[in-house]
Amino acid sequence: MTALLEVEDLRVAYGKIEAVKGISFKVEAGQVVTLIGTNGAGKTTTLRTLSGLLKPVGGQIKFDGRSLKKVPAHQIVSLGLAHSPEGRHIFPRMTIEDNLRLGAFLRNDKAGIEKDIQRAYDLFAILGERRKQAAGTLSGGEQQMLAMGRALMSQPKLLMLDEPSMGLSPIMMQKIMATIAELKASGTTILLVEQNAQAALSLADQGHVMEVGNIVLSGTGQDLLHDESVRKAYLGED
């Protein structure tokens, strides 16, 4: 059975500096797969390349059986690959609801769009309560909810989340992770880049540890969670 996402020997460079050095991994439909590692490991660069924002210098990306080599970013979204980026990148002067509607800019099914907006409000009640407010008035955690809700509006086959808990309070981080768990339970396929290795691996079916552009360790989320080297390097344990 073909994986939903197949990455083979992916290489990405900024000028002469190779940021991703030939990584390979797969994401099966219905899985949560996580990439963990320190800053500069190449995790965000990988996601930006998968979504078409960066062009690889080598390797293959196949999504739903199709090569993404010459597919522009907006068409990648239309194929079902959505990206909630690091730093959220919401539109602060637009309302919460208008931000959500922008996530559906490639869709024409009005009834379906309204249904999915309501789904976002069901997932994130605070967004529904404040739907007519400017998005810039939201807290960091609420903005993260909005960014995730906006990505879901494209009805993705695979949702990529880049550092969803970054800069959030512990309580808000728990809410975001609980939502990711809820999305997983509903069958959403997720590729998760997350600084909180404990939370990410607890949710993940499969995990990959990245260091300076390479995948140095792979396994199930539970295997990596209990791996001694991972616990020392990423979970702060001696």
Which of 100-104, 137-141, 158-162, 207-211 shows the lowest mean pLDDT across its residues? Answer: 137-141
Closest of 63, 68, 54, 78 to residue 26, by C-alpha:
63
Listed in sequence order, the DSSP H helices in the chain are 43-50, 73-79, 96-102, 110-123, 125-129, 140-152, 170-185, 197-203, 221-225, 228-234
Q: Write the CATH number for 32.
A: 3.40.50.300
Q: What burial class does residue 172 get, using C-beta atoms within 10 Å of its C-beta: 0-12 exposed, 13-18 middle, 19+ buried?
A: middle
Model confidence at 223, in pLDDT bands (50, 70, 90)?
very high
Q: Which domain holds residue 48?
A: 5-86+151-234
Amino acid at 44: T
* Residue 50, domain member (yes or no): yes
Q: What is the mean pLDDT of residues 117-142?
A: 93
pLDDT at 57 (0 to 100): 96
Tens digit of each residue's pLDDT (9 = 90 or more) over 28-85:
999 999 999 988 899 999 999 999 999 999 999 999 999 998 899 989 999 999 999 8
- 8 Å CB contact between 57 and 9: no
Q: HSE, CB side, 13 Å, CA atoms: give it for residue 220.
A: 4
* Residue 167, domain member (yes or no): yes
* Residue 142, domain member (yes or no): no
Q: What is the mean pLDDT of residues 136-141?
A: 91
pLDDT at 51 (0 to 100): 95
* Residue 121, domain member (yes or no): no
Paired with 198 in beta bridges are none
With a threshold of 0.85, does the pTM exceed it? yes
Token code pair at residue 63: 């999504």
What is the count of structural domains for the chain? 1
* Residue 135, domain member (yes or no): no
* Residue 10, domain member (yes or no): yes
Q: Is the model's pLDDT at 135 over the cut of 80?
A: yes
Model confidence at 1, in pLDDT bands (50, 70, 90)?
low
Q: Is the model's pLDDT at 238 over the cut of 70?
A: no
* Residue 37, domain member (yes or no): yes
* Residue 100, domain member (yes or no): no
Compute the mean pLDDT over every residue in the chain, rounded to the nearest whole number. 93
Percent of the chain with pLDDT over 70: 98
Model confidence at 159, in pLDDT bands (50, 70, 90)?
very high
Percent of the chain with pLDDT over 90: 82
pLDDT at 237 (0 to 100): 65
Residue with the larger pLDDT of the pair 237 and 177: 177
Model confidence at 205, in pLDDT bands (50, 70, 90)?
very high
Residue with the larger pLDDT of the pair 168 and 63: 63
pLDDT at 87 (0 to 100): 74
